[in-house]
Amino acid sequence: MSNTIQKNREYKKYVVDSKLQYFKPHATKIEKTFAEEVSSSLNADLKFISPKYFYDKKGSELFEKICLLPEYYPTRTEVTILKKLQQELPSFLDDSFRIVELGSGSSVKTRLIIDVFAKLQNKIEYFPIDISEILTESSEQLIHDYDNLHITGIIDTYEGGLEFLKHYDDKKNLITFLGSSFGNFSPSDGYLFLKKIHSTMKSGDLFLIGLDLVKEKHILESAYDDTQGVTAEFNLNVLSRINDELGGNFNLKNFEHHSIYHEKEQRIEMYLKSSQKQSVIIPKSNLLLNLEKNQLIHTEYSHKYRLSQIHDLLDDAGFELKHTWLDENKYFSLTLVTKK
């Protein structure tokens, strides 16, 4: 373990007890990255904020509320598939695997994977990678609920966590990327991210990815603009985060949630719309932001896929298809691959 610490000097190790530890980059590193990225993205002609910054503590809590909304089908659909997958996944595993999860959130769906491992192993190792501090809370609850679970959390970006994992040890990993978070990437960035995962994996490792499928426009648009306004609150919260962490003076009442489905591009597009001409100061990003009335700040794409596109994409990134699971409506997919 000492070699890992030497290779990852920018991380600080926190030991909670014999079953729970986590690594976190020094706070200055996180703040600098956030400040620099916000400065760059809001200075662009087409202004945007990366969706990875949605998930501070409040943002993660709001997303959990979104997952329970009647319009938001992805979570309950994926849970249905995971329950079916529980019977079939063990045939691809043995007792030498650990679970690695990208974007663990509150780990609700993770329990369905842990339950599979509980039948195979006396000691289960789980490595959640999440940029949000909610990782520590959810990990403590999981430890409480599973006697034979040992958790090493990594509070960092996916890329940072994967690089950390690459140098950690030689144990086989089942890397899971549940939800439809991969859809947030542009096609080119998504391909590069798959290559990053591929480069992290050892021979024999497995990768399980959840992807949302193309479907009727009205189903998609309702899922990202719910009648209760929770998605709007989630979208606006990223401005609150900039205010709290970077000293910004965004007035949230001057912005509206705006989302549409772009059929040709097969993606939901989510924006914050400025309801008036205004100026915003973000001191820690050294930024004065001038916005016109109705000007848009892009916050998220959520790309949807056809099955043929999923298989081609994974093949191009160097993966070998093991199995794809679908729900009965073919709304969502879970695909298991290994390195070629």
**CA–CA distance, 250 with 159 (Å, rounded to integer):** 29
pLDDT at 106: 59
pLDDT at 232: 98
Give the residues across from 262 on adjacent strands.
267
pLDDT at 105: 60
pLDDT at 10: 83
pLDDT at 2: 38
**CA–CA distance, 192 with 20 (Å, rounded to integer):** 32
Nearest to 82, CA basis, from 329, 305, 302, 335: 335
User: Which residues contact residue 147 at a Cβ distance below 8 angstroms, ignoring those fewer than 6 apart?
Assistant: none
- Cα 77 off chain centre by: 17
User: Which pLDDT tens digit goes with each residue over 234-278?
Assistant: 999 999 999 999 999 999 999 999 999 999 999 999 999 999 999
pLDDT at 314: 98
Give the residues across from 268 on adjacent strands.
261, 302
**CA–CA distance, 178 with 203 (Å, rounded to integer):** 22
- Cα 100 off chain centre by: 13
Identify the segments of the chain with pLDDT beneath 70.
1-9, 28-32, 105-107
Its pTM stands at 0.89
pLDDT at 92: 96
Angle (nearest 5°) at CA 71 between 67 and 74: 50
Contact, 164 vs 156, CB < 8 A?
yes
Number of residues that make up the chain: 340
Angle (nearest 5°) at CA 94 between 22 and 314: 75
